[in-house]
Amino acid sequence: MKIRRKARFAPEVFTHSLNDIMFFLLLFFLIISTMANPNVIKLMLPKASSSQQVYKKQITLSVDEQKNYYIDKDPIPVGQLESQLASIFANVEERTVVLRVDKNLAVQDLVDVLEIGAKLDIKMVMATAR
């Protein structure tokens, strides 16, 4: 007589809900990683008894559609533009000009102003509309 043994129970791990859990964990870490700024480095800076200040000057140079030049809302003739910029930036280490040019002007007008800035070693930054 052959005695049958009971079928052995094989343990199983139900992984049906594991996909949902992994999805939520992935979403959680993506959201948290965008909130944390990894580029920030916290430093304790040393103290100094005296400080050196760099003199910066920034002006706005505007050119309208009729090729009228303005330095901080003051009209300037085209011929005096280079001399005015040189006198404004005398004894200034970091020279910056925010350049506001009308969109209807030719590219050559922009290049002429940029050449004056390159001649005087002035950093030119072009202002644009959003």
**pLDDT per position as a tens digit, 19-33:** 899 999 999 988 887
Nearest of 126, 68, 67 to residue 97 by alpha carbon: 126
Residues 54-77: what's their mean pLDDT? 83
Residues 52-57: what's their mean pLDDT? 61
Q: Global pTM?
A: 0.55
Residue 128 clears pLDDT 80, i.e. is over it: no
Residue 52 clears pLDDT 70, i.e. is over it: no
Distance between CA atoms of 75 and 78, rounded to whole angstroms?
10
Residues 113-119: what's their mean pLDDT? 90
Residue 40 clears pLDDT 70, i.e. is over it: no
CATH code of the domain made up of 59-126: 3.30.420.270
